[in-house]
Structure 1
């Protein structure tokens, strides 16, 4: 188990930039109404590719408060992170100017860094691939910031005035869970008092689409983009690429209560494991994810039947959905059949490193509103995926403890337990 239970860590601010609408209010509206935001790719001509659909964010950086120089300096994923962090900070009600900057830190997760910026700049300096020797004179002045993902954490730290621990976590599709988990540990161990933590990715570019085409991980259902993402459905045939960001303000519970903060949830347990097995393959029994779930439950001091809702990874690939179903049965026992499980990727796509944080936001908001988001587009049950996946329509459901999980290429398996803080004693 990681960290110590002596300092309890809670979420007091949430920011979300996601397909279907920027901001927490728009994000929750989409999820609770079961709407999908998947469509034909508009950022470039996708016709040469096998998969031509994605979940894009309608994002106007300057309208959302970024200056022209910030837009020029930052890749799209960094812009997401800064805008989203600002929403989280405002939502928290904390006066960051009054905090000790050396006790305030940042962790940002990202799977693919500044993919869109690097892709665009390569096309520019190579004259769309016609030059063998690229001409650096045509590059943007801040091209180095696109090369190093650490710039994401630096931009957020500058935006909030954090001078404490600041880093990027890159563990593939579990990056968003792992960044928040690491930030929690930093507060628990006493290395920081406040953390701005989350994840961002903007991967919808020709190189990313080509990579997933090569391994046939993304769906070729191009004739029906709105219904292309079908986690746990028997007709699923791959995930839908997405983009976005979610960022949180984390602080110690006693401090949050002292200042009268609104507390969304306590991060009661977190664990991560690796299968040391295959870059993209998963063992069908789900043992590594199950182990991460068990350790996270132990850290939260909860029995499996205390979980009221499972926010699944639910990517919509044949392999992952079966693996994950097996992991829930292995870790939760008979309770796996009683607890509602859903995948928001059916509505907002799979934003790679960002999705873990976006799913944490969905989990906290499900607890806040007493509503479980649905798995949209689930019409044809798969006999091998036989749990309660909340098909198509959101469900009113009292939720005191949520399990959110992630699975990533490279064999990464992460699990986080969120609870209402009143379940324990301050």
Structure 2
């Protein structure tokens, strides 16, 4: 019998609050968590708005040693992993620990601490030659993204394969896709997977500002990001983490686990076109969608909801609208499609996993979450983007897509086993 990968635990740290419930409540309310940046002085930046997490590692159970030796990016993942593992009901010991792996996605790793420490070492950027004696003892761990996976493994007790997947803004989908493949091929029975990023820092904001990808609507932070809206002016950075427990289906069924959804199909493509640009026809994303549907053995008409990348930039919104039309055909016009980045910001590599968590919760509750701040439809984006108000709908199969700098295009299909004959 073919092995299958199912989600049995979800943990979320997001700008809405700590945990699945505050996250779900924010999404279904149609509200946003974007605000004026408080983590540093952004007064000289084009964009001065972001979706920040109110996050205290000590209050959330991390030790002072853990907080000292790890960057914020690892801390977010460690807390989310703890919630996900508790939600799954698994206890990792003995043989199960050896059959449990870790796969975490991240686009920019320990940027926050590296930038701060480089500023100290270089005397605020004034010195080209730096004195390494001023470096903290854990700077090596901040520099290596692989430390994120090792910290999650250490926190949870997972002894199986461990990896960090870094493919830009599709990292959060790709890490879960990779984890699902390890479960399917028998390399692991359980995978602790997801993604994390803490990119709200001067250098990251500057990089997005200079290409004018961020919104400059600083006077009204709550409405700064407006996916699919005619008045949109760009994305808003966010931070956070979502971690899922993926488990082999028969293993989960035998122990009576709660199953949110099956990771039924996954695919990724690259457009080999431009570092930040997208072709208007959406062909590469459409190919990823088609391959993911094929992997799931589903017809396009089986899709009940599309979770959009929905970054709030014109080229992305039009690109993925075209891609969904190519892959779903006429069914695209009958299928609700929404994006959550207006609510929780664009947390780069983390957002794909945060969106998968949102999809799994949507399937569990029978609710399609809305696209916040959508009031004036872009005539070139003519699908049903579920503006501002959540909608009840039974969901049998859900498609989530991601698009990343470098030309990465990824797609994943989740299946609701409670509504599936298989």
Task: Quickly name the TM-score band, shorter chain normalised.
Answer: over 0.9
TM-score (norm 2): 0.98
Residue 238 (structure 2) pairs with residue 242 (structure 1): yes
1:223-262 map, 5 Å: 223-262=219-258
Structure-1 residue corresponding to 2:69: 73
Structure-2 residue corresponding to 1:59: 55
Kept after mapping to 1: 8 A contact 2:88/2:257 = yes
- Aligned to 1:365, what secondary structure does the other structure show? helix
Structure-2 residue corresponding to 1:204: 200
| Cα offset, 1:100, TM superposition | 3.0
- Aligned to 1:377, what secondary structure does the other structure show? coil
2:332 corresponds, among 324, 329, 336, to 336
- Aligned to 2:214, what secondary structure does the other structure show? coil
Structure-2 residue corresponding to 1:393: 389
Structure-2 residue corresponding to 1:113: 109
| Cα offset, 1:46, TM superposition | 0.6
Residue 154 (structure 2) pairs with residue 154 (structure 1): no
| Cα root mean square deviation, aligned | 1.1
Q: Using the alignment, how far apart are the partners of 1:97 and 1:425 within structure 2?
A: 34
2:305 corresponds, among 294, 309, 332, to 309
Residue 350 (structure 2) pairs with residue 354 (structure 1): yes
Residue 315 (structure 2) pairs with residue 319 (structure 1): yes
Instruction: Count residues in correspondence.
Output: 422
Query: Deviation string for 1:298-332 (max 9, x for gaps)?
Result: 11111111111110000000100000000000000
Q: Using the alignment, how far apart are the partners of 2:332 and 2:351 within structure 1?
A: 23
| Cα offset, 1:346, TM superposition | 1.1
Structure-2 residue corresponding to 1:128: 124
Structure-2 residue corresponding to 1:39: 35
- Unpaired segments ≥5 residues, structure 1: none
Residue 261 (structure 2) pairs with residue 265 (structure 1): yes
Residue 292 (structure 2) pairs with residue 290 (structure 1): no
- Aligned to 2:387, what secondary structure does the other structure show? coil
Q: Using the alignment, how far apart are the partners of 2:293 and 2:418 within structure 1?
A: 17
| Cα offset, 1:423, TM superposition | 4.9
Range 131-140 or range 250-259, more displaced:
131-140
| Cα offset, 1:137, TM superposition | 2.4
| Cα offset, 1:205, TM superposition | 0.3
1:367 corresponds, among 350, 363, 372, to 363
Q: Using the alignment, how far apart are the partners of 1:131 and 1:315 within structure 2?
A: 37
Q: Using the alignment, how far apart are the partners of 1:232 and 1:135 within structure 2?
A: 49
Kept after mapping to 1: 8 A contact 2:289/2:412 = yes
Kept after mapping to 1: 8 A contact 2:396/2:420 = no
Q: Using the alignment, how far apart are the partners of 2:311 and 2:186 within structure 1?
A: 36
TM-score (norm 1): 0.97
| Cα offset, 1:101, TM superposition | 2.7
Range 125-134 or range 299-308, more displaced:
125-134
Query: Deviation string for 1:42-82 (max 9, x for gaps)?
Result: 11111111111100000010000000010000000000011
Residue 420 (structure 2) pairs with residue 420 (structure 1): no
- Aligned to 1:360, what secondary structure does the other structure show? helix
Range 215-224 or range 98-107, more displaced:
98-107
Q: Using the alignment, how far apart are the partners of 1:294 and 1:386 within structure 2?
A: 21
| Cα offset, 1:425, TM superposition | 6.1
Q: Using the alignment, how far apart are the partners of 1:185 and 1:57 within structure 2?
A: 31
Q: Using the alignment, how far apart are the partners of 1:277 and 1:305 within structure 2?
A: 30
Query: Deviation string for 1:151-195 (max 9, x for gaps)?
Result: 000001111112211000000000000000000000101111110
Structure-2 residue corresponding to 1:48: 44
